[in-house]
Structure 1
Amino acid sequence: MSIKLRLTFMSFLQFFVWGAWLITVGNYWFGTKHWSGEQFGAIFSTLGLSSIVMPALTGIIADKWINAEKLYGLLHILSGLALLYIPQVDNPITFYYVIFAAMICYMPTISLSNSVAYTILKNNQFDVVKVFPPIRVWGTIGFIAAMWLTNLTGNKASFNMFYIAAFAAFALGFYSFTLPKCPPQKLISENASIVEKLGLNAFKLFGTYKMALFFIFSMFLGGALQLTNMYGDVYLSEFAGIPEYADSFVVKYSTIIMSISQISETLFILAIPFFLKRFGIKQVMLISMFAWVLRFGLFAYGNPTDGLWMIIMSCIVYGMAFDFFNISGSLFVETTTDSKIRSSAQGLFMMMSNGFGAFFGGLISGIVIDEFFTKDGIRNWHDIWLSFAGYALVIAILFAVMFKHKHNPEEVVNVGH
């Protein structure tokens, strides 16, 4: 099997593990277990908590002590064990700790999978910039495939979703031990301070008004990044409670409808260079923020019959909302920070958006929905989505007014180099 094919298989399974349960866990939580919304928000906050510290720690371990592909495999096997245990859990508190254990092991594998792929491609004389993107796209395809499998096998509200994810995690874990060796690079100096080792020296960027503003907005928008992953499938499935929609395609195949969002991601990635060159980084980030307003607003007014086009359009818009912010934000960091702390700065961007942002977004959204939008176990989805849309709109307007950045077409020319 060729190197590219082997890495493609790794990428496919990496996100298959996640896609098997991430979008549908809300159906299991609310529909099967009938647990509270406030506690559900805490479940998704584990993604953020795990993203704050674990990638940096596992990066240090892979840089100094253990082959990256072996650490990668070990983490997947451990996350698989946690996922395997979830169906035995009978209360939400224990569920939180078990899923937290799974995420502590899983979240750092996202960055480790990139490191492993980069190292193997470079060692085999491949052009990483040219070869890696088509390999990474198969990760999104794996995520979609898992969503479809979970839905079509009738497991979108069943504990079997965790067995599917665990099996894939074990398969990937053992498979990774067969990959070409990625020995420790030992790039971190023995005399480096703990601050440097953890990549925390990038925090000095908060001393610059423009960078501080960027990271703060990254955190606030990061609070919105997982909201539709948390609640989208539950929202569509709960149309079953309205007689005229109970037997609709949307209710039966809600996960497949939601997968349009991931399909959209793969398409909008291809459009990013054009938008960046034409509009610049700030405008593309603004487009992303207003796309989030549309994402939530369309959900608020959609339904499975005459409003189906709004649900589908919301899923299409998701690709623009998610990709445009992550990639243009990453490019902003790449083009405005010193090369000595660039990797740390990229880690800080991810920490603020997918770490602190996702943590607070998950936690607070659960509390708000339970407190203000749920009565007698019935959630008012129209107002929930409108409140999320209002949140995204306020962030977009403040960002447009406060964040100053001059468009430089040359920034785009150097993407990936």
Structure 2
Amino acid sequence: MNIRIRLIILNFLQFFVWGSWLISLGGYMIVTLKFTGVEVGSIFSTMGIASLFMPAIMGILADRFYNAERVLGFCHIIGAALLLLATRITDYPTLYIIMLFNAMFYMPTIALTNTVSYNALEKSGQDIVKSFPPIRVWGTIGFIVAMWAVDFLGFTKSSGQLYVSGISALVLGIYSFTMPKRPPLKSSDARSLANSVGLDAFVLFKTKKMAIFFTFSMLLGAALQITNLFGGSFLDDFKTLYPGTFGVEHPNLLLSISQISETLFILTIPFFLRRFGIKKVMLFSIIAWVFRFGLFAIGNPGDGLFLLILSMIIYGMAFDFFNISGSLFVEREADPKIRASAQGLFMIMTNGLGAFFGGILSGWVVDHFTTNGVRDWESIWFSFAGYALLLAIIFPIIFKYKHQKDEMATAVAH
């Protein structure tokens, strides 16, 4: 089989596994299992905890001791067993532990899939920069297809979504062993633990500009998963007021517009970076989060459906303009010797610390505005919008950065 097709299948399944539960698990836990907001938030925060150290540990195993495709396969098989076990769990403490271990084995596979893909493309003599993006986009397609599959199967509020994810993870784990071999690197080429987790990049905090950037990376990272946590349960709470409406009957289909938007906004980043610069693009992202949450607050699946759809479209700008543009900024500002570590630090601040605090704090907010099981979603979403608005006001005042068009164009080109 053509290597590009094999890698498309690999990337498709990689994110199909995640998309099967990431958007709908919150609704299942709140609506079916009757978990509190704090409990749901803490379970989602396990991804942040795992992102702090597990990608580095698995990366070192793949760099120094075992073939990367084998590490990838074992991680997915273990994750599959945990997901299938989770289908039988209905109490919070046990489910928390299982999802924590699942996160510890799933989060490293995102980077490992990239490593295996890069290796396969190199071995086949292809240009990674040109060949990988069209392959990687199938990962997002896999995520969307998984959301649709779970929705059409009627699993958005049941453990069925975990069965879908677990079975697909098992298939992916076995499939990973068939990928081109990527043996351990020579000791001189292998990255150290400090380098892998970005510890040697902490020197960047000595620069005020970078210290501010990484701090806002953490603060904005807290917003990244909030609508994934509570979007499904938010729509489910409209089932009495708007029974039979599209958003209530097919929450995953409605929420999947966010992922579709994400794929489209990626294409606009080079233009916006060259035209406006990183500071304004990041500010656009923060303002987009204000609208993302604000439109959720005033929208509904009935006559306010268009407001929810607009929020989904805006998500692409909110997510991509910070994550991808921020990564490019780090690439340009960091010394070449520590660029890999700097990217690791960026991931720690956003998907590690940011996701962890976001999961915990958002759960508190939801519980604060919940009385006798009834959630005041308008106040909840406006609270999140207010948080993003505060960041939007402070960020341009304290982040001093002058846009240099030619230099940013060079960064985008690379």
Structure 2-normalised TM-score?
0.97
Distance 1:193 1:146, change over 3 A: closer
Corresponding residue for 2:208?
A: 209
Q: CA deviation at 1:220?
A: 0.2
Rounded Cα–Cα distance in structure 2 between residues aligned with 1:187 and 1:20: 38
Q: CA deviation at 1:186?
A: 3.0
Corresponding residue for 1:353?
A: 350
- Tell me which amino acid in the other structure corresponds to 1:27: G
Rounded Cα–Cα distance in structure 2 between residues aligned with 1:376 and 1:395: 32
Corresponding residue for 1:328?
A: 325
Rounded Cα–Cα distance in structure 1 between residues aligned with 2:289 and 2:198: 30
What number of residue pairs does the alignment pair up? 413
Q: Secondary structure at the match of 1:224?
A: coil
Match status 1:400 vs 2:399? no
Which of 379, 386, 390 is 2:382 aligned to?
386
Q: CA deviation at 1:199?
A: 3.5
Corresponding residue for 2:11?
A: 11
Rounded Cα–Cα distance in structure 2 between residues aligned with 1:193 and 1:44: 29
Rounded Cα–Cα distance in structure 1 between residues aligned with 2:203 and 2:297: 41
Corresponding residue for 1:311?
A: 308
Corresponding residue for 1:29?
A: 29
Rounded Cα–Cα distance in structure 2 between residues aligned with 1:316 and 1:196: 37
Rounded Cα–Cα distance in structure 1 between residues aligned with 2:189 and 2:133: 31
Distance 1:29 1:194, change over 3 A: closer
- Tell me which amino acid in the other structure corresponds to 1:259: S
Which of 359, 362, 372 is 2:359 aligned to?
362
- Tell me which amino acid in the other structure corresponds to 2:310: M
Corresponding residue for 1:376?
A: 372
- Tell me which amino acid in the other structure corresponds to 2:107: M
Distance 1:62 1:32, change over 3 A: same
Task: Please tell me whether the aligned partners of residues 289 and 318 of structure 2 are also in contact (alpha carbons under 8 angstroms).
Answer: yes
Rounded Cα–Cα distance in structure 1 between residues aligned with 2:159 and 2:85: 10
Distance 1:53 1:319, change over 3 A: same
Rounded Cα–Cα distance in structure 2 between residues aligned with 1:268 and 1:238: 30
Q: CA deviation at 1:30?
A: 1.2
Corresponding residue for 2:136?
A: 136
Rounded Cα–Cα distance in structure 1 between residues aligned with 2:361 and 2:240: 26
Q: CA deviation at 1:306?
A: 1.6
1:237-264, Cα deviation, whole Å (9 max, x unpaired): 210132xx02211100111000000000
1:156-198, Cα deviation, whole Å (9 max, x unpaired): 11111101000110011000100001111235568x8753464
Which of 260, 273, 284 is 2:281 aligned to?
284
Q: Secondary structure at the match of 2:215?
A: helix
Which of 272, 275, 300 is 1:275 aligned to?
272
Distance 1:288 1:30, change over 3 A: same
Rounded Cα–Cα distance in structure 1 between residues aligned with 2:398 and 2:252: 38
Rounded Cα–Cα distance in structure 2 between residues aligned with 1:114 and 1:198: 17
Distance 1:197 1:270, change over 3 A: closer
Q: How does 1:4-403 map to 2 (within 5 A)?
A: 4-186=4-186, 188=188, 195-196=194-195, 198-242=197-241, 245-370=242-367, 372-403=368-399
Q: CA deviation at 1:150?
A: 0.4
Structure 1 residue runs of 5 or longer lacking an equivalent are: none
1:247-291, Cα deviation, whole Å (9 max, x unpaired): 211100111000000000110011111111111111111100000
Rounded Cα–Cα distance in structure 2 between residues aligned with 1:349 and 1:414: 17
Task: Please tell me whether the aligned partners of residues 60 and 198 of structure 1 are also in contact (alpha carbons under 8 angstroms).
Answer: no
Task: Please tell me whether the aligned partners of residues 195 and 340 of structure 2 are also in contact (alpha carbons under 8 angstroms).
Answer: no
Structure 2 residue runs of 5 or longer lacking an equivalent are: none
Rounded Cα–Cα distance in structure 1 between residues aligned with 2:192 and 2:180: 31
Displacement over 2 Å in runs of 4+? 186-190, 192-199, 412-417
Q: Secondary structure at the match of 1:415?
A: helix
Rounded Cα–Cα distance in structure 1 between residues aligned with 2:111 and 2:188: 18
Task: Please tell me whether the aligned partners of residues 63 and 188 of structure 1 are also in contact (alpha carbons under 8 angstroms).
Answer: no
Rounded Cα–Cα distance in structure 1 between residues aligned with 2:173 and 2:146: 17
Distance 1:309 1:200, change over 3 A: same
- Tell me which amino acid in the other structure corresponds to 2:194: V
Task: Please tell me whether the aligned partners of residues 116 and 179 of structure 2 are also in contact (alpha carbons under 8 angstroms).
Answer: no
1:43-85, Cα deviation, whole Å (9 max, x unpaired): 1100100111111111111110111111011100011110000
- Tell me which amino acid in the other structure corresponds to 1:204: V
Rounded Cα–Cα distance in structure 2 between residues aligned with 1:285 and 1:318: 14
- Tell me which amino acid in the other structure corresponds to 1:231: F
Distance 1:303 1:396, change over 3 A: same
Task: Please tell me whether the aligned partners of residues 52 and 197 of structure 2 are also in contact (alpha carbons under 8 angstroms).
Answer: no
Task: Please tell me whether the aligned partners of residues 197 and 344 of structure 2 are also in contact (alpha carbons under 8 angstroms).
Answer: no
Rounded Cα–Cα distance in structure 2 between residues aligned with 1:168 and 1:247: 30
Q: CA deviation at 1:367?
A: 1.7
Task: Please tell me whether the aligned partners of residues 226 and 362 of structure 1 are also in contact (alpha carbons under 8 angstroms).
Answer: yes
Rounded Cα–Cα distance in structure 1 between residues aligned with 2:185 and 2:307: 50
Q: Secondary structure at the match of 2:243?
A: coil
